[in-house]
Structure 1
Amino acid sequence: MFHHLTKGLIGVGRIDEVVDLLRQMLNKGHVVHSLVYNNMILGFLELGNLDKANELLDELKERCLVYDGVVKATYMDWFFNQRRDKEAMGSYKSLMDRQFRMISATCLLEVLLKHGKQKEAWELFDQMLYNHTPPNFQAVNSDTFNIIVNECFKRKVDEVVSTFRKVGTKPNSKPFIMDVDGYRNIISRYCESGVLFEVEMLFQELCSKSLSPHVPPHTVLIDGYLKADRIDEALGIFNKMVVSGLRVVATFGNRVFDELIKKGKVVECAQIFEQNGRKRS
């Protein structure tokens, strides 16, 4: 809660009040999360006050022996934006001998890609996979894969699926058990690209896993089929969605019904509508 409060206050130019709040919290013996410090550091960096940001970083180091890489990612992003690439990469390289939590490493990955450091980003991704040895150490999550898969769609489309399934090379590295969010992202990107063959394979793979059915992968695939004028396939997934008991939002359902009816699927739409009514009653 304090993290969100500080972010909001800084966003409206009340950073001095945040500093006062921090002092009050510390004086009362409360533990302050590193993300609060990160918000304040970012606020002062955006004001061009590097000295104050560094002062807060030093304070964070004193209070937290192991602080996460999110703060370093904030510095890197600011240095890059100031065209101080040497300092940004110097900050990054000083971190390479540390084993960060996945959220921290994922933030670093995102900053590297944002500023055109593809080589370093791919090396970091490989290192994260190498370190992924659950239950001992969880080095990646679906956000990590979403970031790198999206990068593949920009530059290495032929490597998307192999990257999505990539595993670290350490003897005890383990594959990441992909969740619905990861499948939704890759299915969405393929639909945007019009490559439905891969989408169908991934959707079937998702359905075969012991994961609860989710709405987004279904709606994304339906839209992809409608865009490609593959009406029967869109109808089939829409029907499957209803049979599975997934909630069909009215605006989406009406739009799909309109498209299907335009293509002559009046009877089939009536059957789906009736079935959806029975499921909800």
Structure 2
Amino acid sequence: MSMIRRVILGRRPYRTAVPRRAKDVMSNPDCRPITLGFRVWYLIASVGDLDTAAEYARLAAFSRIKGEATESTCELIIRSMCLHKRHKDAYDLYDFFFNKHKLIPTNNCCNCIIESRFQQGLVDEALDFHRSIISRGYPNEDTLRVLTKGLVQCGRLDQAKAFLKAEKFPYSNRPDHVAFNNLIQGFLDIGNLDKANLVLDEFKRAWSDWSDFALSWHKPNSLSLQYEQKVAFLMTTFMEYWFKQGKEMEAMKCYERCVVANKLPVRSDTGSALLKILLKYGKKTHAWALYHDMFDQSQSGISCLRLDSGTVKKMVDECFDIGRCSQAIETYNKARTNNKFLDNTYIITRCCENGMLSEAESLFAVSLGRGFGGADVAIFKTMIASYLNAGRVDDALKTSNMMIDSSLIEVSKLF
């Protein structure tokens, strides 16, 4: 057990079954919402200790100010438990916050629990939970994505289709193109192209109804562009279907419909899906051309056109996989200049995996220079392992000491 974890775990107090006061959770509790949120984030992201994070997160129920910071803390711990497949812990926390202590659940918290139920194969329980929720703005678009995806994956396509009936929901919370795409994917996976096409037609009709309603606050040209971009996203699913059937010509027609024919600016979600398919089926020239177009478009500052981290990683991985390591770093650095959300953990790890220790050291130094949150424990551990593999024991020891010092500094700030 690391020193930093021993420091934190040493403070873990006895907790009663159903705490009614903050002091029942831990002695000398600090329930300030923003400070508490940072502590929970640090314990999850940097230390990887979900148990201690959950102890601190429970203090959110006793914060005097129940605002956005408190909601974010609840979301963070529940989502993290779900991501680590700790489904019972996630539901216990949901019950603690929203049933026992009467906080108002956000849509994201509700959606996490529904998705967790689906992942456990508890389909009826997921649907029962969905029906039981009374919360502002629920269900939202993300809810309908989770419901349709979960139902499709367990083979209940007809039930998924029922959730796409727009008349059941207010205009602001109607199913979006991703929810429709889940059903299209389900029908294509079982080889039913006709029904997949019918779902595509249903989306077009639903969009037409919505756009008639939305004309009062959207310009017609803006609505038309949104429509074309969403249809392009749906066409990526048909594109992969045709590739799987060995029908390259039909697949590339879908690609042209997505990108070429209408000269559309490529949204990040559509572009990422297209890149994945193009690389998977050997269309690497098309993939790089699309990536460069997306990069150029991302300079416009429009959020939906920004290169997300997953898109950049796809192309960096492609470079490493074919042995073009220098191009991988160049591709990453170029994207990093224009996207502050990219961190160096991923590229450092890939450099170490490919024996590029000097390049990893340079990137590691940049991360250290960013201060708080710049380099987490995972980066330190990666560098230590690489130094040891290279026989550089002194550098490994030096980096280990830096990790301890850095962690203790952060603990002193937050705890």
Structure-2-length-normalised TM-score: 0.54
Q: What is the letter of the counterpart of residue 164 of structure 1?
A: Y
Q: 2:273 matched to 1:107?
A: yes
The corresponding residue for 1:187 is 348
Q: Do 1:225 and 1:231's aligned partners in 2 also have CA atoms closer than 8 Å? A: yes
Alpha-carbon distance in structure 2 between the residues aligned to 1:73 and 1:184: 30
Alpha-carbon distance in structure 1 between the residues aligned to 2:234 and 2:381: 37
Residues 192/224 of structure 1: CA separation in 2 closer, same or farther (3 Å cut): same
The corresponding residue for 1:166 is 334
Alpha-carbon distance in structure 2 between the residues aligned to 1:136 and 1:166: 18
Residues 46/95 of structure 1: CA separation in 2 closer, same or farther (3 Å cut): same
Alpha-carbon distance in structure 2 between the residues aligned to 1:91 and 1:277: 52
Structure 1 segments (4+ residues) deviating >4 Å: 275-281
SS at match of 2:258: coil
Residues 43/135 of structure 1: CA separation in 2 closer, same or farther (3 Å cut): same
Alpha-carbon distance in structure 1 between the residues aligned to 2:319 and 2:163: 43
Alpha-carbon distance in structure 2 between the residues aligned to 1:12 and 1:54: 21
SS at match of 1:72: helix
Q: Deviations over 1:146-181 (max 9, x none)?
A: 1100000012223122222336xxxxxx94234454
Displacement of 1:204 after TM fit? 1.2
Displacement of 1:276 after TM fit? 11
Residues 140/78 of structure 1: CA separation in 2 closer, same or farther (3 Å cut): same
Q: 2:207 matched to 1:46?
A: no
The corresponding residue for 1:26 is 167
Number of residue pairs the alignment of both structures matches:
245
Alpha-carbon distance in structure 1 between the residues aligned to 2:411 and 2:180: 51
2:287 aligned to which of 107, 121, 137: 121
Alpha-carbon distance in structure 2 between the residues aligned to 1:151 and 1:187: 16
CA RMSD of aligned residues (A): 2.7
1:143 aligned to which of 310, 313, 321: 310
Q: What is the letter of the counterpart of residue 162 of structure 1?
A: E
The corresponding residue for 1:86 is 249
Q: Deviations over 1:97-149 (max 9, x none)?
A: 11122122111111111111100000001101111225345431222211100
Residues 206/59 of structure 1: CA separation in 2 closer, same or farther (3 Å cut): same
Residues 230/134 of structure 1: CA separation in 2 closer, same or farther (3 Å cut): farther
Residues 142/178 of structure 1: CA separation in 2 closer, same or farther (3 Å cut): farther
SS at match of 1:17: helix
Residues 69/216 of structure 1: CA separation in 2 closer, same or farther (3 Å cut): farther
The corresponding residue for 1:200 is 361
The corresponding residue for 1:260 is none
1:209 aligned to which of 357, 370, 388: 370
Residues 207/277 of structure 1: CA separation in 2 closer, same or farther (3 Å cut): closer
Q: Deviations over 1:170-212 (max 9, x none)?
A: xxxx94234454x222111111112111111111122223662
Residues 208/12 of structure 1: CA separation in 2 closer, same or farther (3 Å cut): same
Alpha-carbon distance in structure 2 between the residues aligned to 1:234 and 1:69: 49
Residues 276/125 of structure 1: CA separation in 2 closer, same or farther (3 Å cut): closer
Q: Do 2:144 and 2:163's aligned partners in 1 also have CA atoms closer than 8 Å? A: no
Alpha-carbon distance in structure 2 between the residues aligned to 1:84 and 1:134: 36
The corresponding residue for 1:58 is 201
1:154 aligned to which of 315, 321, 327: 321
Structure 2 portions without partners, runs of 5+: 1-142, 208-226
Structure-1-length-normalised TM-score: 0.78
Q: Do 2:387 and 2:396's aligned partners in 1 also have CA atoms closer than 8 Å? A: yes
Alpha-carbon distance in structure 2 between the residues aligned to 1:175 and 1:154: 23
Q: 2:169 matched to 1:6?
A: no
